[in-house]
Amino acid sequence: MELELATERLLLRPVVLSDVDLSIEMLTDPAVVKHVLKLMTPEEITECMPTWTSRGGCGCIGIWVASDRETGEKIGTGSLLPMPIEAEEINWARVVEDAMPEGDVEVGYILKRSAWGKGYATEICRRLVQFAFEQTSFDEIVATFDDEHRKSRHVLEKCGFTDHGRRFCYGEDSVNFRITRLEWIAGR
Protein backbone atom coordinates (compact mmCIF):
# COMPACT_ATOMS: atom_id res chain seq x y z
CA MET A 1 0.00 0.00 0.00
CA GLU A 2 1.34 3.43 -0.95
CA LEU A 3 1.40 5.70 2.10
CA GLU A 4 2.91 8.74 0.38
CA LEU A 5 -0.05 10.74 -0.83
CA ALA A 6 0.02 13.68 -3.22
CA THR A 7 -2.33 16.58 -3.82
CA GLU A 8 -1.98 19.45 -6.24
CA ARG A 9 0.24 21.39 -3.81
CA LEU A 10 1.18 18.96 -1.04
CA LEU A 11 2.97 15.72 -0.35
CA LEU A 12 1.74 13.73 2.64
CA ARG A 13 4.04 11.08 4.12
CA PRO A 14 4.01 9.13 7.38
CA VAL A 15 5.42 11.11 10.30
CA VAL A 16 8.91 10.10 11.49
CA LEU A 17 10.97 10.95 14.57
CA SER A 18 12.87 13.72 12.77
CA ASP A 19 9.57 15.59 12.34
CA VAL A 20 9.90 16.66 15.95
CA ASP A 21 10.80 20.14 14.63
CA LEU A 22 7.36 20.58 13.06
CA SER A 23 5.62 19.13 16.12
CA ILE A 24 7.45 21.54 18.42
CA GLU A 25 6.67 24.50 16.16
CA MET A 26 2.96 23.66 16.12
CA LEU A 27 2.28 22.26 19.58
CA THR A 28 4.07 24.99 21.53
CA ASP A 29 2.08 27.71 19.73
CA PRO A 30 -1.02 28.62 21.80
CA ALA A 31 -2.90 29.83 18.71
CA VAL A 32 -2.32 26.55 16.86
CA VAL A 33 -3.41 24.25 19.70
CA LYS A 34 -6.28 26.44 20.94
CA HIS A 35 -8.99 24.26 19.39
CA VAL A 36 -7.27 20.87 19.31
CA LEU A 37 -4.82 20.00 22.05
CA LYS A 38 -3.29 21.25 25.24
CA LEU A 39 -0.15 23.33 24.96
CA MET A 40 2.92 21.11 25.24
CA THR A 41 6.57 21.66 26.10
CA PRO A 42 9.34 20.65 23.68
CA GLU A 43 10.35 17.93 26.17
CA GLU A 44 6.82 16.47 26.25
CA ILE A 45 6.66 16.51 22.46
CA THR A 46 10.02 14.77 22.11
CA GLU A 47 8.85 12.12 24.58
CA CYS A 48 5.62 11.55 22.61
CA MET A 49 7.19 11.35 19.14
CA PRO A 50 7.87 7.57 19.22
CA THR A 51 4.18 6.99 19.96
CA TRP A 52 3.03 9.45 17.30
CA THR A 53 5.06 7.61 14.66
CA SER A 54 3.07 4.41 15.35
CA ARG A 55 1.00 3.14 12.46
CA GLY A 56 -1.92 0.74 12.50
CA GLY A 57 -3.99 -1.14 9.95
CA CYS A 58 -0.95 -1.92 7.77
CA GLY A 59 -0.13 1.79 7.68
CA CYS A 60 -3.64 3.14 7.09
CA ILE A 61 -3.98 4.48 10.64
CA GLY A 62 -1.61 7.17 11.80
CA ILE A 63 -0.30 10.66 11.23
CA TRP A 64 1.03 12.12 7.97
CA VAL A 65 3.26 15.18 7.60
CA ALA A 66 2.13 17.59 4.88
CA SER A 67 4.86 19.38 2.95
CA ASP A 68 4.77 21.89 0.13
CA ARG A 69 5.58 19.96 -3.06
CA GLU A 70 7.67 22.79 -4.52
CA THR A 71 9.66 23.94 -1.49
CA GLY A 72 9.59 20.87 0.75
CA GLU A 73 8.52 23.06 3.69
CA LYS A 74 6.54 21.14 6.32
CA ILE A 75 3.25 22.96 6.82
CA GLY A 76 1.27 20.66 9.12
CA THR A 77 -0.10 17.21 9.75
CA GLY A 78 -3.13 15.14 8.86
CA SER A 79 -4.32 12.00 10.55
CA LEU A 80 -6.63 9.02 10.46
CA LEU A 81 -6.85 7.79 14.06
CA PRO A 82 -9.25 5.93 16.34
CA MET A 83 -11.63 8.42 17.91
CA PRO A 84 -11.54 8.28 21.71
CA ILE A 85 -14.89 8.12 23.45
CA GLU A 86 -14.43 8.20 27.23
CA ALA A 87 -10.81 9.40 27.23
CA GLU A 88 -9.69 12.94 26.45
CA GLU A 89 -6.83 11.68 24.26
CA ILE A 90 -6.25 8.98 21.67
CA ASN A 91 -5.62 5.52 23.05
CA TRP A 92 -2.49 4.64 21.10
CA ALA A 93 -2.82 1.00 22.22
CA ARG A 94 -5.63 0.81 19.62
CA VAL A 95 -3.11 1.62 16.86
CA VAL A 96 -2.01 -1.94 16.08
CA GLU A 97 0.27 -2.64 13.12
CA ASP A 98 -1.74 -5.36 11.38
CA ALA A 99 -5.25 -4.52 12.61
CA MET A 100 -7.87 -1.92 11.91
CA PRO A 101 -9.19 -0.34 15.10
CA GLU A 102 -12.70 -1.08 16.27
CA GLY A 103 -15.03 1.89 16.44
CA ASP A 104 -14.92 5.17 14.62
CA VAL A 105 -11.88 6.45 12.75
CA GLU A 106 -11.47 10.21 12.74
CA VAL A 107 -9.80 12.48 10.20
CA GLY A 108 -7.86 15.39 11.64
CA TYR A 109 -5.45 18.12 10.65
CA ILE A 110 -3.21 20.68 12.35
CA LEU A 111 -1.42 23.45 10.49
CA LYS A 112 1.34 25.75 11.62
CA ARG A 113 0.24 29.36 11.77
CA SER A 114 2.06 30.45 8.59
CA ALA A 115 -0.01 27.90 6.62
CA TRP A 116 -3.42 29.15 7.74
CA GLY A 117 -5.92 30.54 5.27
CA LYS A 118 -4.44 28.91 2.17
CA GLY A 119 -6.79 25.94 1.77
CA TYR A 120 -4.26 23.39 3.01
CA ALA A 121 -6.57 21.90 5.67
CA THR A 122 -9.18 21.17 3.01
CA GLU A 123 -6.55 19.66 0.72
CA ILE A 124 -5.21 17.40 3.52
CA CYS A 125 -8.68 16.33 4.63
CA ARG A 126 -9.87 15.55 1.09
CA ARG A 127 -6.77 13.48 0.34
CA LEU A 128 -6.99 11.46 3.56
CA VAL A 129 -10.69 10.75 2.99
CA GLN A 130 -9.89 9.68 -0.58
CA PHE A 131 -7.15 7.41 0.73
CA ALA A 132 -9.47 5.94 3.37
CA PHE A 133 -12.21 5.11 0.88
CA GLU A 134 -9.92 3.92 -1.93
CA GLN A 135 -7.33 1.99 0.09
CA THR A 136 -9.16 0.71 3.18
CA SER A 137 -12.36 -1.06 4.08
CA PHE A 138 -13.78 1.90 6.02
CA ASP A 139 -17.41 2.63 5.26
CA GLU A 140 -17.41 5.88 7.21
CA ILE A 141 -15.00 8.52 8.51
CA VAL A 142 -15.91 10.83 11.39
CA ALA A 143 -14.70 14.20 12.60
CA THR A 144 -15.27 16.54 15.50
CA PHE A 145 -14.04 19.99 16.41
CA ASP A 146 -14.34 22.66 19.06
CA ASP A 147 -17.78 24.29 18.79
CA GLU A 148 -16.16 27.71 18.40
CA HIS A 149 -13.93 26.65 15.50
CA ARG A 150 -16.11 27.63 12.53
CA LYS A 151 -13.22 27.23 10.08
CA SER A 152 -13.01 23.49 10.83
CA ARG A 153 -16.74 23.19 10.20
CA HIS A 154 -16.22 24.89 6.83
CA VAL A 155 -13.32 22.56 5.91
CA LEU A 156 -15.36 19.46 6.72
CA GLU A 157 -18.41 20.70 4.81
CA LYS A 158 -16.24 21.41 1.74
CA CYS A 159 -14.93 17.83 2.02
CA GLY A 160 -18.46 16.37 1.98
CA PHE A 161 -18.96 15.74 5.70
CA THR A 162 -22.43 16.35 7.12
CA ASP A 163 -23.53 17.44 10.55
CA HIS A 164 -25.08 14.60 12.55
CA GLY A 165 -25.82 16.63 15.65
CA ARG A 166 -23.97 15.82 18.85
CA ARG A 167 -22.08 12.80 20.16
CA PHE A 168 -19.96 11.82 23.12
CA CYS A 169 -16.24 11.68 22.32
CA TYR A 170 -13.02 12.90 23.90
CA GLY A 171 -14.83 12.54 27.22
CA GLU A 172 -17.44 15.20 26.45
CA ASP A 173 -20.45 16.17 24.37
CA SER A 174 -19.09 17.17 20.95
CA VAL A 175 -19.91 18.03 17.35
CA ASN A 176 -20.55 14.93 15.20
CA PHE A 177 -19.60 15.19 11.52
CA ARG A 178 -19.49 12.14 9.23
CA ILE A 179 -19.03 11.05 5.64
CA THR A 180 -19.83 7.59 4.30
CA ARG A 181 -18.17 5.83 1.42
CA LEU A 182 -21.40 6.13 -0.61
CA GLU A 183 -21.64 9.89 0.10
CA TRP A 184 -18.01 10.30 -0.92
CA ILE A 185 -18.55 8.38 -4.19
CA ALA A 186 -21.70 10.41 -4.96
CA GLY A 187 -19.84 13.68 -4.35
CA ARG A 188 -16.87 12.93 -6.60
Q: Which H or E run includes 132?
A: helix 120-135
Identify which of 85, 109, 108, 89 has the alpha carbon closest to the alpha carbon of residue 38. 89
173-182, Cβ contacts within 8 angstroms, sequence gap of 24 or more = 174/144, 175/144, 175/145, 175/147, 176/142, 176/144, 177/142, 177/143, 177/144, 177/145, 177/153, 178/140, 178/141, 178/142, 178/143, 179/129, 179/140, 179/141, 180/139, 180/140, 181/133, 181/138, 181/139, 181/140
Task: Give the confidence band of 60 by pLDDT, cuts at 50, 70, 90.
Answer: very high
d(CA 129, CA 157): 13
Q: What percent of the chain has pLDDT over 90?
A: 85
d(CA 183, CA 165): 17
What Cα–Cα distance (Å) separates residue 182 from each residue in 137, 155, 179, 186?
12, 19, 8, 6
pLDDT score, position 117:
95
Whether the predicted pLDDT of 88 surpasses 90: no
pLDDT score, position 6:
98
pLDDT score, position 48:
96
Whether the predicted pLDDT of 21 surpasses 90: yes
Query: 3-state DSSP call for residue 133?
Result: helix
Q: What are phi and psi of 52, to 5 degrees?
A: -65, -15
Task: Give the confidence band of 174 by pLDDT, cuts at 50, 70, 90.
Answer: very high
How does 20-30 read in b/e, with b if 16+ C-beta sit within 10 Å? Answer: bebbbbbbeee
- pTM for this model (two decimals): 0.95
Query: 3-state DSSP call for residue 113?
Result: helix
Identify the top-confidence range among 10-24, 86-100, 136-150: 10-24
- Answer yes or no: are the C-beta atoms of 24 and 32 closer than 8 Å: no
For strands 162-169 and 62-68, give the pairing.
unpaired
